[in-house]
Amino acid sequence: MVKTMLRFDLNWARSNIGHKVNIHLKDGSVIVNVLITSAFKSNHESSALYYAIPLRSKFGKVSLREIEWAERIDTCFFMPNSVA
């Protein structure tokens, strides 16, 4: 089961730290299969979501204003011997 959210905000980002998601941006592009590492709101900068790409050992940052929606990836579907 893939959980989809319609409105992206800082609270949702913080509640999904440590989970893998696909991030859909307002320009139509998608950042696929990333791990949310943190989400911050600072006074001098807009809120930002920090993520990691696990297989490539790379990190990134995207402004929450640029995110249209995100879908959480349920990793139990990818494990061959998992019990659901």
Tens digit of pLDDT for each residue in 26-62? 999 999 999 999 998 877 778 899 999 888 889 999 9
pLDDT at residue 81, as a whole number = 60
Give the fold, CATH level 3, of 3-76.
SH3 type barrels. (2.30.30)
Which residue, 42, 4, 47, is CA-closest to 23?
4
Residue 1 has pLDDT above 50, yes or no: no
Dist CA 55 CA 46 (whole Å): 28
Look up the pTM and report it. 0.73
Integer-rounded Cα radius of gyration of the chain:
13
Tens digit of pLDDT for each residue in 16-31? 899 999 999 999 999 9
Where are the domains positioned within the chain? 3-76
pLDDT at residue 6, as a whole number = 52
Q: Judging by DSSP bridges, how do beta strands 20-25 and 67-72 pair with one another?
A: antiparallel
